[in-house]
Amino acid sequence: MTIPEVKTKKQAIKVKCPECGDTHSYHPTYTEYIGYIRYNTATDPFLGLELWYQAQFKDELFWAYNNEHLHYLEQYVVAKLRERNNPRYMTMVEKLPAFIKSAKNREGLLKLINKLKNKSLLKHTI
């Protein structure tokens, strides 16, 4: 996804889902960036739209931006051996919340990830 530079404020922005092709029109709020999680829901940092892939896991919010991000998180959770490549630089994996890194949550997270993947498949069949 490419976000073009916006020099004027738009009244509405059309957003098309790359998976199913649905198009919706949103009215941007133009607020200063305040983070990924607002009001106990994960949002896109650019448009402030609620993320499709999100669900509560125990007392935490699990979320992914898209199919690729969800797949990456699944591969991390399922991995038995998690090695650090370069201790001088922080990668996305090292910034993950502790509940995702915890081996005791592996089974529960994999069930949740499969539930989110099925949610996507269900939308495509409707």
DSSP E strands, 9-87: 13-16, 23-26, 37-38, 41-42, 53-57, 60-64
49-58 tens-digit pLDDT = 889 999 999 9
Q: What pLDDT digit, counting tens, does each position of 23-47 carry?
A: 888 877 665 544 445 556 888 877 7
Task: Give this prediction's pTM.
Answer: 0.64
